[in-house]
Amino acid sequence: MSYYYAQINDTSKICGGVSQLSGFVDASNMIAITQEQYESTSLVGQQYDAATQTWVVVPPAPAPDTWIITRNAFQNRFPMTANGVSTKYDLMTLFLSDTGYAASLGVTGSDLYSLRSIIITGNNRLGVVTSVNLQAQETIDYVNMTTNVAFPEVFRLTTDEANTLLTTPAAPNELP
């Protein structure tokens, strides 16, 4: 004679598997089931309600919001530059901190001040968050700002690069 059991998690009461055993088992995490339930494995993933001795279908967990990524993931989405080491975001950050670098790109005086003000404002908004919503208007504005023709070409995003950065759903390693 065979005995059929659903193996449930002691805390969540969710069935993680079914078993066919040769003997009777008396354990709080082993719930007797029918041969038909065993063969269909339909109970796997369902929750056992001990009060009513019934199985409840558990709705799947909501999918993560694939448009919210970590700040670091956002910065890493900026394309690599020709040197193969730095991203356009890295060079934009260098532009903020190194007047010599800015001058080497031909940006000085009031133009340098104006561009730095724009970038710093965007970076300050980005700096106070731990995650970035790719569909939020301030994110869209920030990325579109980096396509501005006044930006040095070395770290200016093309329209295609900006669109890719904003419209690619989050990869699992980018989620907060």
For the chain, the domains span: 3-56, 68-174
| pLDDT of 7 over the 90 cut | yes
What pLDDT is recorded for position 64? Answer: 73
Q: What is the mean pLDDT of residues 143-149?
A: 89
Q: Which stretch, 28-32, 98-102, 148-152, has highest mean pLDDT?
A: 28-32
Q: Pick the residue with more confidence: 8 or 127?
A: 8
Contact status, residue 70 vs residue 132, Cβ threshold 8 Å? yes
Tell me, what's the pLDDT at 129? 80
The per-residue pLDDT for 149 is 82
Q: How far is CA 119 from the centre of its chain?
A: 25
Determine the pLDDT at residue 16. 94
Strands 3-8 and 30-32: antiparallel
pLDDT of 37-49, one tens digit each? 999 989 999 999 9
Structure tokens at 160: 């295609």
pLDDT tens string 103-138: 999 988 898 888 888 888 888 877 768 899 999 998
Integer angstrom CA distances of residue 170 from 1, 48, 80, 130, 143: 52, 34, 18, 15, 16
Residue 41 region, left (φ>0) first, then alpha (ψ -120 to 50), else beta? left
Q: Residue 41's pLDDT is what?
A: 85
Task: Give the predicted TM-score (pTM) of the model.
Answer: 0.62
For the residues 147-152, what does the mean pLDDT come to?
Answer: 88
Provide φ and ψ at 69, rounded to 5°: -130, 165
Contact indicator for 82, 48 with CB cutoff of 8 Å: no
pLDDT grade for 162, boundaries at 50, 70 and 90 = very high
3-7, 30-34, 61-65, 168-172: which has the minimum mean pLDDT? 61-65
* 52-63 CB burial, b ≥16 within 10 A, e <16: eeebeeeeeeee
| 92 Cβ contact list (under 8 Å, min separation 6) | 78, 119, 146, 151, 155
